Amino acid sequence: MSERGWTLGTEQLTDLARGAALLGTGGGGDPYIGRLMVEAAIAEYGPITVISPDELADDEFVISTAMMGAPSVMVEKIPKGDEAVRALRALERHLGRSADATIPMECGGINSMIPLVVAAVTGLPVVDADGMGRAFPELQMETFGVYGIPASPMVVAGDHDEWVLIDCGADNSRVEWLARGACIRMGGAALIAEYPMTGADVKRTAIPGTLSLGVELGAAIRQARAGHRDPVAALRERLGGSIYRQLRVLHEGKVTDVERRVVDGFTRGTVRITGFNKPGDAARAGDLVISFQNENVIALREGQLLAVVPDLICVLEADSAEPITSETLRYGQRVRVIGISTPDLMRTPEALAVFGPRCFGLDRDFTPLEQLHPTAD
Protein backbone atom coordinates (compact mmCIF):
# COMPACT_ATOMS: atom_id res chain seq x y z
CA MET A 1 0.00 0.00 0.00
CA SER A 2 1.48 3.36 -0.99
CA GLU A 3 1.42 6.26 1.40
CA ARG A 4 -2.07 7.54 2.03
CA GLY A 5 -4.08 9.68 4.37
CA TRP A 6 -3.04 12.44 6.69
CA THR A 7 -1.38 12.55 10.07
CA LEU A 8 -3.30 13.34 13.23
CA GLY A 9 -1.23 14.69 16.08
CA THR A 10 -1.96 15.75 19.62
CA GLU A 11 -2.45 19.39 18.51
CA GLN A 12 -5.79 18.49 16.86
CA LEU A 13 -7.14 16.47 19.77
CA THR A 14 -8.64 19.32 21.77
CA ASP A 15 -10.60 20.48 18.74
CA LEU A 16 -11.67 16.90 18.05
CA ALA A 17 -12.80 16.42 21.63
CA ARG A 18 -14.99 19.53 21.42
CA GLY A 19 -16.37 18.65 18.02
CA ALA A 20 -17.03 15.07 19.06
CA ALA A 21 -18.83 16.22 22.19
CA LEU A 22 -21.07 18.27 19.89
CA LEU A 23 -21.71 15.33 17.54
CA GLY A 24 -22.25 13.16 20.62
CA THR A 25 -25.57 15.02 21.03
CA GLY A 26 -25.39 14.70 24.81
CA GLY A 27 -24.07 11.15 24.91
CA GLY A 28 -21.12 9.13 23.75
CA GLY A 29 -19.30 9.91 26.94
CA ASP A 30 -17.18 12.94 27.69
CA PRO A 31 -14.20 12.80 25.29
CA TYR A 32 -11.86 14.20 27.96
CA ILE A 33 -10.58 10.84 29.25
CA GLY A 34 -10.36 9.53 25.71
CA ARG A 35 -8.26 12.51 24.70
CA LEU A 36 -5.80 11.84 27.53
CA MET A 37 -5.60 8.21 26.41
CA VAL A 38 -4.85 9.22 22.82
CA GLU A 39 -2.22 11.74 23.94
CA ALA A 40 -0.49 9.05 25.99
CA ALA A 41 -0.67 6.58 23.09
CA ILE A 42 0.72 9.11 20.58
CA ALA A 43 3.51 10.02 23.00
CA GLU A 44 4.46 6.35 23.27
CA TYR A 45 3.80 5.07 19.75
CA GLY A 46 3.83 8.13 17.47
CA PRO A 47 1.19 9.93 15.42
CA ILE A 48 -1.84 8.40 13.76
CA THR A 49 -2.65 8.02 10.08
CA VAL A 50 -6.20 8.93 9.11
CA ILE A 51 -7.47 7.69 5.73
CA SER A 52 -10.66 8.49 3.91
CA PRO A 53 -13.01 5.61 2.99
CA ASP A 54 -12.03 6.16 -0.67
CA GLU A 55 -8.46 5.28 0.20
CA LEU A 56 -9.48 1.80 1.37
CA ALA A 57 -9.13 -1.04 -1.11
CA ASP A 58 -12.40 -2.96 -1.50
CA ASP A 59 -10.90 -6.14 -0.07
CA GLU A 60 -9.17 -4.57 2.91
CA PHE A 61 -10.43 -5.70 6.29
CA VAL A 62 -11.77 -3.16 8.79
CA ILE A 63 -12.86 -3.64 12.41
CA SER A 64 -14.74 -1.00 14.39
CA THR A 65 -13.50 -0.26 17.92
CA ALA A 66 -15.32 1.63 20.66
CA MET A 67 -16.23 1.97 24.29
CA MET A 68 -19.72 1.03 25.37
CA GLY A 69 -21.58 1.81 28.58
CA ALA A 70 -23.56 4.44 30.39
CA PRO A 71 -21.81 7.82 29.99
CA SER A 72 -22.25 8.38 33.75
CA VAL A 73 -20.05 5.31 34.28
CA MET A 74 -17.66 5.97 31.39
CA VAL A 75 -16.55 9.29 32.86
CA GLU A 76 -15.76 7.67 36.23
CA LYS A 77 -14.51 4.19 35.37
CA ILE A 78 -11.24 4.92 33.63
CA PRO A 79 -10.22 2.12 31.23
CA LYS A 80 -7.16 0.10 32.15
CA GLY A 81 -5.92 1.06 28.69
CA ASP A 82 -5.35 -2.13 26.72
CA GLU A 83 -8.96 -3.32 26.50
CA ALA A 84 -9.79 -2.01 23.02
CA VAL A 85 -6.66 -3.50 21.49
CA ARG A 86 -7.30 -6.79 23.32
CA ALA A 87 -10.85 -6.80 21.93
CA LEU A 88 -9.53 -6.17 18.41
CA ARG A 89 -6.88 -8.89 18.71
CA ALA A 90 -9.34 -11.43 20.10
CA LEU A 91 -11.70 -10.78 17.20
CA GLU A 92 -8.85 -11.03 14.70
CA ARG A 93 -7.78 -14.38 16.18
CA HIS A 94 -11.32 -15.67 16.08
CA LEU A 95 -11.79 -14.64 12.45
CA GLY A 96 -8.31 -15.74 11.43
CA ARG A 97 -7.76 -12.42 9.69
CA SER A 98 -5.85 -9.30 10.70
CA ALA A 99 -7.42 -5.88 10.40
CA ASP A 100 -5.99 -3.43 7.85
CA ALA A 101 -7.66 -0.47 9.55
CA THR A 102 -9.98 0.46 12.38
CA ILE A 103 -13.01 2.73 12.15
CA PRO A 104 -15.08 4.57 14.77
CA MET A 105 -18.45 3.02 15.61
CA GLU A 106 -19.67 6.52 16.47
CA CYS A 107 -18.06 9.89 15.84
CA GLY A 108 -19.53 11.43 18.99
CA GLY A 109 -18.10 11.56 22.47
CA ILE A 110 -15.32 9.33 23.74
CA ASN A 111 -15.75 7.01 20.76
CA SER A 112 -14.14 9.58 18.53
CA MET A 113 -11.02 8.84 20.59
CA ILE A 114 -10.97 5.08 21.27
CA PRO A 115 -10.17 4.09 17.65
CA LEU A 116 -7.31 6.60 17.75
CA VAL A 117 -5.85 4.81 20.77
CA VAL A 118 -6.13 1.54 18.86
CA ALA A 119 -4.58 3.11 15.77
CA ALA A 120 -1.65 4.56 17.72
CA VAL A 121 -0.90 1.32 19.57
CA THR A 122 -1.29 -1.04 16.60
CA GLY A 123 -0.01 1.22 13.83
CA LEU A 124 -3.21 0.64 11.89
CA PRO A 125 -4.76 3.60 10.05
CA VAL A 126 -8.10 4.89 11.26
CA VAL A 127 -10.85 5.51 8.70
CA ASP A 128 -12.33 9.02 8.59
CA ALA A 129 -15.95 7.83 8.84
CA ASP A 130 -18.25 6.15 11.34
CA GLY A 131 -21.40 4.08 11.68
CA MET A 132 -23.65 6.54 13.51
CA GLY A 133 -22.86 10.00 12.17
CA ARG A 134 -23.38 11.11 15.77
CA ALA A 135 -23.71 9.01 18.96
CA PHE A 136 -26.49 6.50 19.60
CA PRO A 137 -27.03 4.43 22.75
CA GLU A 138 -27.29 0.94 21.21
CA LEU A 139 -24.99 -1.18 19.08
CA GLN A 140 -27.54 -2.11 16.42
CA MET A 141 -28.11 1.62 15.76
CA GLU A 142 -25.34 1.80 13.18
CA THR A 143 -25.53 2.47 9.48
CA PHE A 144 -23.20 -0.53 9.09
CA GLY A 145 -26.03 -2.74 10.34
CA VAL A 146 -28.79 -0.76 8.64
CA TYR A 147 -27.16 -1.54 5.31
CA GLY A 148 -26.53 -5.22 5.94
CA ILE A 149 -23.32 -5.70 7.91
CA PRO A 150 -23.69 -8.05 10.92
CA ALA A 151 -22.41 -6.55 14.17
CA SER A 152 -21.12 -9.95 15.25
CA PRO A 153 -18.94 -11.78 15.80
CA MET A 154 -17.85 -9.06 18.17
CA VAL A 155 -15.82 -8.87 21.36
CA VAL A 156 -16.41 -7.08 24.67
CA ALA A 157 -13.27 -6.69 26.79
CA GLY A 158 -13.16 -5.67 30.45
CA ASP A 159 -10.47 -4.36 32.73
CA HIS A 160 -9.79 -7.72 34.43
CA ASP A 161 -8.16 -9.14 31.29
CA GLU A 162 -11.42 -10.91 30.52
CA TRP A 163 -13.22 -10.82 27.20
CA VAL A 164 -16.43 -12.13 25.75
CA LEU A 165 -17.05 -12.99 22.11
CA ILE A 166 -20.65 -12.77 20.93
CA ASP A 167 -22.07 -14.34 17.78
CA CYS A 168 -25.75 -13.76 16.95
CA GLY A 169 -25.62 -14.26 13.20
CA ALA A 170 -27.44 -11.36 11.56
CA ASP A 171 -29.44 -10.36 14.66
CA ASN A 172 -27.76 -7.11 15.67
CA SER A 173 -30.37 -6.26 18.32
CA ARG A 174 -29.55 -9.50 20.09
CA VAL A 175 -25.86 -8.57 19.93
CA GLU A 176 -26.75 -5.31 21.70
CA TRP A 177 -28.78 -7.20 24.32
CA LEU A 178 -26.00 -9.69 25.12
CA ALA A 179 -23.14 -7.20 24.85
CA ARG A 180 -25.00 -4.79 27.16
CA GLY A 181 -25.38 -7.61 29.68
CA ALA A 182 -21.65 -8.35 29.52
CA CYS A 183 -20.86 -4.63 29.76
CA ILE A 184 -23.04 -4.23 32.85
CA ARG A 185 -21.33 -7.18 34.54
CA MET A 186 -17.93 -5.73 33.61
CA GLY A 187 -18.83 -2.68 35.70
CA GLY A 188 -21.01 -0.63 33.34
CA ALA A 189 -18.38 0.26 30.77
CA ALA A 190 -16.26 -1.92 28.51
CA LEU A 191 -14.35 -1.78 25.25
CA ILE A 192 -15.54 -3.49 22.08
CA ALA A 193 -14.48 -4.59 18.60
CA GLU A 194 -17.41 -5.15 16.24
CA TYR A 195 -18.81 -4.99 12.72
CA PRO A 196 -15.90 -6.70 10.96
CA MET A 197 -16.21 -5.71 7.29
CA THR A 198 -14.44 -5.01 4.03
CA GLY A 199 -13.31 -1.73 2.55
CA ALA A 200 -16.20 -2.01 0.07
CA ASP A 201 -18.60 -2.39 3.00
CA VAL A 202 -17.21 0.78 4.60
CA LYS A 203 -17.65 2.80 1.41
CA ARG A 204 -21.24 1.61 1.04
CA THR A 205 -22.45 1.92 4.66
CA ALA A 206 -20.37 4.41 6.66
CA ILE A 207 -21.05 8.09 7.23
CA PRO A 208 -17.95 9.62 5.59
CA GLY A 209 -15.69 12.36 6.87
CA THR A 210 -17.00 12.51 10.44
CA LEU A 211 -13.61 12.37 12.14
CA SER A 212 -12.27 15.35 10.22
CA LEU A 213 -15.64 17.05 10.63
CA GLY A 214 -15.29 16.67 14.40
CA VAL A 215 -11.88 18.34 14.28
CA GLU A 216 -13.23 21.16 12.11
CA LEU A 217 -16.32 21.81 14.23
CA GLY A 218 -14.16 21.97 17.34
CA ALA A 219 -11.78 24.36 15.57
CA ALA A 220 -14.68 26.50 14.35
CA ILE A 221 -15.89 27.00 17.91
CA ARG A 222 -12.36 27.76 19.15
CA GLN A 223 -11.63 30.25 16.37
CA ALA A 224 -14.97 32.03 16.77
CA ARG A 225 -14.32 32.48 20.49
CA ALA A 226 -10.84 33.87 19.78
CA GLY A 227 -12.28 36.25 17.18
CA HIS A 228 -15.19 37.30 19.40
CA ARG A 229 -17.66 35.97 16.86
CA ASP A 230 -20.70 33.81 17.62
CA PRO A 231 -19.55 30.18 17.77
CA VAL A 232 -22.99 28.94 16.72
CA ALA A 233 -22.81 31.06 13.58
CA ALA A 234 -19.40 29.53 12.89
CA LEU A 235 -20.84 26.04 13.33
CA ARG A 236 -23.69 26.86 10.96
CA GLU A 237 -21.22 28.09 8.39
CA ARG A 238 -19.04 24.97 8.63
CA LEU A 239 -22.01 22.57 8.53
CA GLY A 240 -23.53 24.32 5.53
CA GLY A 241 -21.01 22.72 3.20
CA SER A 242 -21.26 19.29 4.85
CA ILE A 243 -23.65 16.37 4.55
CA TYR A 244 -25.32 17.67 7.73
CA ARG A 245 -26.34 20.99 6.13
CA GLN A 246 -28.97 22.43 8.50
CA LEU A 247 -28.56 24.00 11.93
CA ARG A 248 -31.34 25.59 13.97
CA VAL A 249 -31.18 27.35 17.31
CA LEU A 250 -34.08 25.74 19.16
CA HIS A 251 -34.02 27.38 22.55
CA GLU A 252 -32.05 29.55 24.97
CA GLY A 253 -32.48 29.39 28.68
CA LYS A 254 -31.41 28.12 32.07
CA VAL A 255 -31.33 24.54 33.25
CA THR A 256 -33.99 24.43 35.95
CA ASP A 257 -34.29 20.69 36.50
CA VAL A 258 -32.29 17.55 35.73
CA GLU A 259 -33.56 14.07 36.40
CA ARG A 260 -30.97 11.41 35.64
CA ARG A 261 -30.45 7.76 36.57
CA VAL A 262 -28.47 4.75 35.36
CA VAL A 263 -30.94 2.04 34.33
CA ASP A 264 -30.14 -1.25 32.60
CA GLY A 265 -26.73 0.03 31.63
CA PHE A 266 -27.93 3.35 30.19
CA THR A 267 -28.02 6.90 31.50
CA ARG A 268 -31.65 7.94 31.20
CA GLY A 269 -33.44 11.09 32.19
CA THR A 270 -34.76 14.50 31.27
CA VAL A 271 -33.55 18.07 31.47
CA ARG A 272 -35.80 21.11 31.75
CA ILE A 273 -34.54 24.37 30.30
CA THR A 274 -36.56 27.47 31.17
CA GLY A 275 -36.46 30.08 28.41
CA PHE A 276 -34.75 33.42 28.89
CA ASN A 277 -37.98 35.00 27.75
CA LYS A 278 -36.27 37.67 25.66
CA PRO A 279 -38.45 40.57 24.57
CA GLY A 280 -39.82 39.95 21.11
CA ASP A 281 -38.93 36.26 21.14
CA ALA A 282 -42.11 34.72 22.54
CA ALA A 283 -41.36 31.34 20.96
CA ARG A 284 -38.46 30.83 23.35
CA ALA A 285 -40.36 31.87 26.42
CA GLY A 286 -41.49 28.43 27.54
CA ASP A 287 -39.82 25.42 29.06
CA LEU A 288 -37.93 23.09 26.78
CA VAL A 289 -37.74 19.48 27.95
CA ILE A 290 -35.19 17.11 26.46
CA SER A 291 -35.40 13.36 27.13
CA PHE A 292 -32.20 11.36 26.85
CA GLN A 293 -31.08 7.73 26.72
CA ASN A 294 -27.33 8.39 26.88
CA GLU A 295 -27.98 10.72 23.91
CA ASN A 296 -30.63 13.43 23.58
CA VAL A 297 -33.64 11.79 21.96
CA ILE A 298 -36.38 14.41 21.69
CA ALA A 299 -36.86 18.10 22.45
CA LEU A 300 -40.36 19.38 23.25
CA ARG A 301 -41.37 22.92 24.24
CA GLU A 302 -44.74 23.08 25.93
CA GLY A 303 -45.61 19.85 24.09
CA GLN A 304 -44.47 21.16 20.69
CA LEU A 305 -41.90 19.04 18.85
CA LEU A 306 -38.68 20.95 18.17
CA ALA A 307 -36.40 18.07 17.13
CA VAL A 308 -36.26 14.29 17.37
CA VAL A 309 -33.83 11.44 16.64
CA PRO A 310 -31.97 10.78 14.45
CA ASP A 311 -31.50 14.54 14.07
CA LEU A 312 -28.99 15.92 16.54
CA ILE A 313 -30.09 17.82 19.64
CA CYS A 314 -27.11 19.54 21.26
CA VAL A 315 -27.01 21.51 24.50
CA LEU A 316 -24.28 24.16 24.42
CA GLU A 317 -23.01 26.52 27.06
CA ALA A 318 -24.78 29.77 26.11
CA ASP A 319 -21.79 32.03 25.45
CA SER A 320 -18.88 29.72 24.68
CA ALA A 321 -20.90 27.08 22.79
CA GLU A 322 -19.01 24.40 24.74
CA PRO A 323 -21.07 21.19 24.34
CA ILE A 324 -22.63 19.88 27.58
CA THR A 325 -23.02 16.12 27.81
CA SER A 326 -26.02 14.51 29.47
CA GLU A 327 -24.07 13.42 32.55
CA THR A 328 -22.68 16.92 33.16
CA LEU A 329 -25.99 18.81 32.91
CA ARG A 330 -26.75 20.61 36.13
CA TYR A 331 -29.06 23.20 37.60
CA GLY A 332 -28.30 26.78 36.73
CA GLN A 333 -26.36 26.27 33.51
CA ARG A 334 -27.11 28.93 30.89
CA VAL A 335 -27.45 27.11 27.61
CA ARG A 336 -28.34 27.28 23.95
CA VAL A 337 -29.98 24.23 22.42
CA ILE A 338 -29.37 23.60 18.74
CA GLY A 339 -30.67 21.06 16.28
CA ILE A 340 -28.59 19.69 13.40
CA SER A 341 -30.03 17.70 10.50
CA THR A 342 -28.54 14.23 9.94
CA PRO A 343 -27.15 13.06 6.59
CA ASP A 344 -29.53 11.52 4.05
CA LEU A 345 -28.07 8.03 4.61
CA MET A 346 -29.49 8.22 8.15
CA ARG A 347 -33.00 9.24 7.10
CA THR A 348 -33.95 6.38 4.79
CA PRO A 349 -36.83 4.10 5.83
CA GLU A 350 -34.28 1.33 6.60
CA ALA A 351 -32.33 3.70 8.83
CA LEU A 352 -35.40 5.06 10.63
CA ALA A 353 -36.51 1.46 11.29
CA VAL A 354 -33.33 1.01 13.33
CA PHE A 355 -32.81 4.41 15.00
CA GLY A 356 -35.96 6.43 14.33
CA PRO A 357 -38.19 7.77 17.13
CA ARG A 358 -40.11 4.50 17.55
CA CYS A 359 -36.86 2.67 18.34
CA PHE A 360 -36.65 4.85 21.46
CA GLY A 361 -40.18 4.04 22.60
CA LEU A 362 -41.70 7.21 21.17
CA ASP A 363 -45.11 6.94 19.55
CA ARG A 364 -44.36 9.23 16.64
CA ASP A 365 -42.66 9.21 13.25
CA PHE A 366 -39.53 11.11 12.37
CA THR A 367 -39.99 14.69 11.25
CA PRO A 368 -36.92 16.38 9.74
CA LEU A 369 -35.55 19.41 11.53
CA GLU A 370 -35.84 21.63 8.45
CA GLN A 371 -39.52 20.71 8.09
CA LEU A 372 -40.18 21.65 11.73
CA HIS A 373 -38.28 24.93 11.25
CA PRO A 374 -38.50 25.85 7.54
CA THR A 375 -36.46 29.01 7.82
CA ALA A 376 -33.10 29.42 9.44
CA ASP A 377 -33.11 31.48 12.66
In the complex, the smallest distance separating the C-beta of residue 122 from a copy of itself, rounded to whole angstroms, is 20
- How many whole angstroms separate alpha carbon 23 and alpha carbon 376? 20
In the complex, the smallest distance separating the C-beta of residue 330 from a copy of itself, rounded to whole angstroms, is 32
- What would the x/- binding string for a copy of itself be over residues 142 to 161, using CB under 8 A? ------------------xx
Question: Does residue 321 contact residue 224 with C-beta atoms inside 8 Å?
Answer: yes
In the complex, the smallest distance separating the C-beta of residue 97 from a copy of itself, rounded to whole angstroms, is 15
Residues 6 or more apart whose CB falls under 8 angstroms from that of 144 comprise 64, 131, 151, 195, 197, 201, 205, 206
In the complex, the smallest distance separating the C-beta of residue 171 from a copy of itself, rounded to whole angstroms, is 7
In the complex, the smallest distance separating the C-beta of residue 184 from a copy of itself, rounded to whole angstroms, is 7
Terminal alpha carbon distance of the chain: 47
DSSP structural state of residue 323? B
Nearer to a copy of itself, 184 or 369 (CB): 184
Q: Does 347 bind a copy of itself (CB under 8 A)?
A: no
- What would the x/- binding string for a copy of itself be over residues 91 to 130, using CB under 8 A? ---x------------------------------------
Measured CA to CA in angstroms, residue 61 lies from 7, 23, 72, 97, 195 at distances of 21, 26, 33, 8, 11
Of 32-40, 43-51, 170-178, 304-312: span binding a copy of itself (CB under 8 A): 170-178
Q: Does 262 bind a copy of itself (CB under 8 A)?
A: no
Q: Does 174 bind a copy of itself (CB under 8 A)?
A: yes
In the complex, the smallest distance separating the C-beta of residue 174 from a copy of itself, rounded to whole angstroms, is 6
Backbone angles phi, psi at 16, to 5 degrees: -60, -40
**Cα dihedral across residues 141, 146, 148, 149: positive or negative:** negative
Instruction: List, in sequence order, every beta strand (DSSP E) within 70-140.
Output: 101-104, 126-127, 129-130
Q: Does 165 bind a copy of itself (CB under 8 A)?
A: yes
**Where does this chain bind a copy of itself (CB under 8 A)?**
90, 94, 160-169, 171, 174, 177-178, 180-182, 184-186
